[in-house]
Amino acid sequence: MANSVFGHLDEEEILQQAERCLGCGKPTCKDNCPAATPIPQAIELYRTGKTLEAGRLLFQNNPLCLLCSYMCDVHTQCEGHCIRGRRKRIMPIPFWAMERQAAGAYLKALLGQEAVPSQGQSVIVLGTGAEGVAAALLLAQQGRCVQLRNPDGTPGVLLARQAAEGNVPQDVVFLYERLLAHWGVQVSAGTPSDEAGTATLDCRETGQASPGRPAELVTRAKQKVAQLLTES
């Protein structure tokens, strides 16, 4: 199966690729995404110039969508199962490029919007990797007062390691750090002592995602956050 080059495409090339999407009713791209990203709908929004709406759709499904556009092994997931790539030498749709554009634009737009005022129960999220950051963003979006803590004592979010290892550009990690700060999420090191009126969500990623599948961690975070919100 042909694959796109996981490298640079300019905006015109990305739009040309978006135009090639068939908008499948039973999208095999989505079926093979660990986050079940609504890929045809996002591509359609992007294709028709609604970049921020595409970004919002992607972010609401997966707050780490921008990170995933760099880290996912697309050749075994969405792109690798795109129906357009079924014939040899025909390029599948490089959805990662549209996701990267739309998610990046939407994250920047969020930084210009007022944060949701904190209300309800405070939550300490343990673990500052992808699962913890996703959970913190989901909870902050719901107006919860969130503290993100790294029990192993490392300051800052562990996402920064991905930038240090060259998997993700530094400015993408900065964007997530700025969004956490903008939404009032406090990031610190250390294990919490019992704090009255505060719930704890363990996102220490004891069961790591498969390599190249960070969306698995986001899905796990969504499940944990949904359970916490149901119980509280």
Chain residues in the site for ligand SF4 (CB under 6 A):
21-24, 27-29, 39-40, 82-84, 93, 95
Nearer CB in complex with ligand SF4: 33/123:
33
The residue among 50 and 84 lying less far from ligand SF4, judged by its C-beta, is 84
Cα dist from 4 to 54, 74, 188, whole Å:
21, 10, 40
Q: How far apart are CB 91 and ligand SF4 at their closest, in Å?
A: 11
The answer to whether 192 touches 159, Cβ cutoff 8 Å, is: no
Signed CA dihedral, 97, 222, 113, 146: sign only? negative
Smallest distance from ligand SF4 to CB 29, Å: 3
Residue nearer to ligand SF4 on the CB measure, 23 or 49:
23
Q: How would you class 123 by CB atoms within 10 Å of its CB: exposed for 0-12, middle for 13-18, buried for 19 or more?
A: buried
Rg (CA), the chain: 18
Beta bridge partners of 124: 147, 200
| Minimum distance from residue 50 beta carbon to ligand SF4 (Å) | 17
Of 38, 207, 232, whose CA–CA distance to 221 is shortest?
A: 207
Q: DSSP states of 106-118 as a string?
A: HHHHHHTSPPPPP
- Rounded to a whole number of angstroms, the distance between the first and last alpha carbons of the chain is 48
Give the pair of three-digit tokens for residue 91. Answer: 């390029």
Give whichever of 28 and 200 is closer to ligand SF4, judged by the CB atom. 28
Closest distance between ligand SF4 and the C-beta of residue 86, in Å?
9
Minimum distance between the CB of residue 167 and ligand SF4, rounded to whole angstroms?
Answer: 24
Q: Which residues contact 212 (CB under 8 A, 6 or more apart)?
A: 71, 72, 73, 76, 77
Looking at the Cβ atoms of 27 and 132, the one nearer to ligand SF4 is 27
Closest to ligand SF4 by CB, 5 vs 196, is 5
Minimum distance between the CB of residue 84 and ligand SF4, rounded to whole angstroms?
Answer: 5
